[in-house]
Chains A and B, each alone.
Chain A
Amino acid sequence: MRTPLLLDIAADACPERLALGGSGDGMDFHAYRARASRVAAWLLSEGKANTAFLGMNGDALPVLLFASGMAGTPFVPLNYRLADADLNKLVARSAPAVLIADDDMLRRIAPVDGVELVARSRFEAEFMTGGARAKVDLPEAENDIAVLLFTSGTTGDPKAAVLRHANLTSYVMATVEFLGADEDQAALVSVPSYHIAGISAILTSAYGGRRIVYLPAFTAEDWVRVAAAEAITHAMVVPTMLDRILDVMVETGETLPALRALSYGGGKMPEPVIARALAMLPQVDFVNAYGLTETSSTIALLGADDHRAAFASDDPAIRRRIASVGQPLPSIELEIRREDGSPCGPGEHGEIHVRGEQVSGEYLHRKAIADDGWFATNDAGWLDDGGYLFVEGRLDDVIVRGGENISPGEIEDVLRGFDDIADCAVLGIPCVQWGEKVVAVIVSRSGAPDTVGMAATIKARLRSTKTPEQWFVRSELPYNETGKLLRRVLKAELAEEVCAG
């Protein structure tokens, strides 16, 4: 099954229902499919293998995603927050491709063979404006890769996760009811296109018949303003966003009466934040979702009733489920395994493994899935007696700050470039605002390290979110007998210091 089918059957069943944009000037499902088909015809005439996108959220994005599926060209959304050098590496890896890029991002892209640059303004003038014309009938495409998403992995070099049409459509059809949304439902999408949730939101909304309203990029002020103006009923946020949204609601007095469902994921939600959200938005159903790019989004979720039961319970075992990601979806299998591969019992910590049709577990040129279909998530976790899943973060040491995965290795690489640095480690330490914050532990040769200068260099070379927020100077770092840095020991010590301080 292919992703364009999801749009196709919705457009046949309810052509006049609004699919994208504002309630006053939005695009209906008929026009959505017709525009996507015209874009697909153009992509086919360009003859490039991939369709890449570099830009802010907007209606052009879902039209491009479905058009890519129709044309059989994998859709490759690129991360505009990357430093130019890293971005251009990904642009080169997306070749041969048509790359549609926001006009103000065009100058960041170095010319590369096989990549045809198209300004978004030109694309939108051609395909997104004026009266919708009839759809173009195209032969069913063959390429079964729907999306390539670059994820930041353990090595720091992004891996291209492969999501096939069968993975994505299985996920959508197993989790969403076809046209299950009422006509007045609207989802506010603020996660970027290069995040799996940005992709899955497009597919689940089309199949569910729910209108999407985009924020070009997240700010709490815009989120609250648009949610109120468009009577938004559904939204997905990362933990950092929610706390700031609540602040703006307090400042403006906005109560968002139309809102009925908020899902969150992409990092640990601090309990005080969710407690505050439940109190301020009593009419809203909260859903905590856990998933990975390689699993086509959600594989476990903590539903609204679970949230209420946890907060209402005096039983510590029930109460702590507020910090869980709920139960695995009925359509997948999930196991916690020991290092030797044997299954863990309830309460026993191990690595989360998952199997199901939505699980791709595949990177370009490399399958990471076992022959029997099980995928090792590289996330540590455990299941309680009731089958609720608790996720403890990456088995390796990727820092998850505000939903963004940050690889310590590349920050350490920059630090090691300083003559004064004898040794260093970059770690994520739990923090209420971001889930984790980046801290650096350094061994200085001079004894008087210029941490301000180092921070400025990291900010310039990488980006601000990767810049350590706290610095610790040590005489040496802990290693085991085989010379491996004991990150966890260091992390535990620092977490105590940070809390104590």
Chain B
Amino acid sequence: MDLKPGSRWKSAVCDAQLVVVRPPRTAGELQCGGATVLPIDDAATPSGAVSADFAEGVAIGKRYVDEDSGLEVLGAKAGQGSLAFNGAAMTVKGAKPLPASD
């Protein structure tokens, strides 16, 4: 899968939608709820179960990172599954929002 910046993906097992903010330095698979994500325009609707190991959820507006590869993903729609890169759970990036300046 080509996880290029701006590419959009959706979970195969829940309602989560994702945008790649930073690509990984190494090739690999983005997963949600334990299943490999699908391109946003894939016709498939979510099916199957969210893996109990990856069920902490994706929140809208939150950023998720995989420290090792540098992959960073934005939650564009919320879902029950949580994210992983090649099986390693991604973590929420704790960034304090800045005040509006424009």
Contacts and interface: CB of A to CB of B under 8 A. Distances in A.
Interface residues of B, number: 19
Contacts of B43: none
Interface of A: 1-2, 5, 8-9, 12-13, 166, 169, 173, 175-180, 187, 197, 200-201, 204-205, 208, 210, 234, 236, 261, 263, 265, 285, 287, 289, 291, 297-298, 301, 303-304, 329-330
Given A9-B76, A177-B61, A287 B99 contact: yes
A75 B21 CA distance: 24
Given A2-B6, A9-B19, A13-B60, A236 B102 contact: yes
Given A9-B19, A12-B76, A169-B6, A178 B102 contact: no
A5 B19 contact: yes
A298 B60 contact: no
A178 B17 contact: no
19 contacts: A9-B8, A9-B19, A173-B74, A175-B101, A176-B98, A177-B97, A178-B74, A178-B75, A197-B102, A204-B100, A210-B100, A236-B100, A236-B102, A263-B100, A289-B101, A301-B99, A303-B98, A304-B99, A330-B95
Given A1-B5, A12-B17, A180-B61, A201 B74 contact: no
Given A5-B6, A5-B19, A9-B19, A298 B101 contact: yes
Given A5-B19, A173-B74, A176-B97, A201 B102 contact: yes
Interface in B1-56: 5-6, 8, 17, 19, 21
Chain A interface main SS type: mixed
Given A197-B102, A204-B102, 7 more contacts: A1-B6, A9-B74, A175-B98, A176-B98, A204-B100, A210-B100, A263-B100
B102 A179 contact: no
Nearest to B20: A1
Contacts of B8: 5, 8-9
Nearest to B4: A1
A472 B61 CA distance: 57
B74 A287 contact: no
A49 B92 CA distance: 41
Nearest to B97: A177
Contacts of B77: 12-13
B47 to A, nearest CB: 20
Contacts of B6: 1-2, 5, 169
Contacts of B60: 13, 178-179
User: Which 5 A/B pairs are nearest by Cβ-Cβ distance?
Assistant: A1-B6, A289-B101, A178-B61, A201-B102, A200-B102
